[in-house]
Amino acid sequence: MTERLAVRKTYKLWIGGAFVRSESGRYDEADGVNFPRASRKDVRDAVAAARQAATPWAARTAYNRGQILYRAAEALESRAATMGVPRDEVEAAVDVLLHYAGWTDKLHAVLGGVNPVAAPFLSFSLPEPTGVAGIVAPDAPPLLGLVAELAPTLAAGNVAVAILSETDPLPGLDLAEALGVSDVPAGVVNLLSGRRQELATALGAHRDLNAIVDAAGDPSLATELDKLAAETIKRVRHDDPASTYEDATDDALDRLEAVTELKTAWHPVGA
């Protein structure tokens, strides 16, 4: 009997709800496996897909977004054995998704409310999504470090373009398969692998991006992203890589505020 050869996995980018090859056709290698090296064109395609998905995602109810994040946690846990990282890292990533799933319907109560102003006016504030957020994930931990930035971004009603770990992108690309069966709409999450410097600067300079969340831990890159954000008026948050569940959730409100805008309205009372 002829011994059967295993089918080798072909890794692809996750853009607009589809697995696609890099526009340039370039590949890099990690752990003996080839993975696509995204280009600046792939960054532009990912931002375009995210922009198209932004309004419908923000229009969903907070409860529905929470359900989808919960389903993403279920799908990720079912693939724990195939994610290429230790089981405890997968479990921490699952718990982070569940944590922020619970935040979706609490943002308005915590961040919004009636403002104390002099009569005869009524002033109140409502939190709204920032829009399209760019995420620069850390090299390690490759899965938890990504999910720690992705979960609050989605919970607040934003869509995301994420640049994965440069040294170990495979867990992030595997995450795309879990998201693909978790009811996350096409374009809400876009995952790019490749050279961080090339992709992060292209993402930071994109004028259709509204915020950047940087967890790469690279001071020179952080400075460059700050300059690019200033040129195009983007919100920026620099995070230390989350290596535990507590790292990702102890400052949950700060992470959510970083990708949230407050819309304040004033009304004359009794006029």
- Please state, rounded to an integer, the average pLDDT across all residues of the chain: 94
DSSP 186: T
Whether residue 13 contacts residue 22, with contact meaning beta carbons closer than 8 Å, is answered with yes
User: Looking at residue 116, what is its pLDDT?
Assistant: 85
pLDDT, tens only, 174-214: 999 999 999 999 999 999 999 999 999 999 999 999 999 99
Q: Cα separation of 17 and 180, whole Å?
A: 7
- Which run of H or E residues covers position 114? strand 113-115
User: Looking at residue 271, what is its pLDDT?
Assistant: 53
Structure tokens at 10: 């072909």
Structural domains in the chain plus CATH codes: 13-265 (3.40.605.10)
The three-state secondary structure class of 134 is strand
Q: Cα separation of 122 and 108, whole Å?
A: 17
pLDDT, tens only, 63-110: 999 999 999 999 999 999 999 999 999 999 999 999 999 999 999 889
Question: Within 13 Å and on the Cβ side, how many CA atoms surround 260?
Answer: 24
The three-state secondary structure class of 115 is strand
Q: Which stretches within 79-115 are classed as H helix?
A: 87-101, 107-111
Tell me the β-bridge partners of 213. 135, 237
The three-state secondary structure class of 229 is helix
- Look-up: residue for tokens 């532009």? 44
pTM for the predicted model, two decimal places: 0.94
Cα–Cα distances (Å) from 70 to 93, 110, 145, 150, 253, in that order, read 12, 21, 18, 14, 19
Cα Dmax for the chain? 89
Q: Cα separation of 32 and 43, whole Å?
A: 25
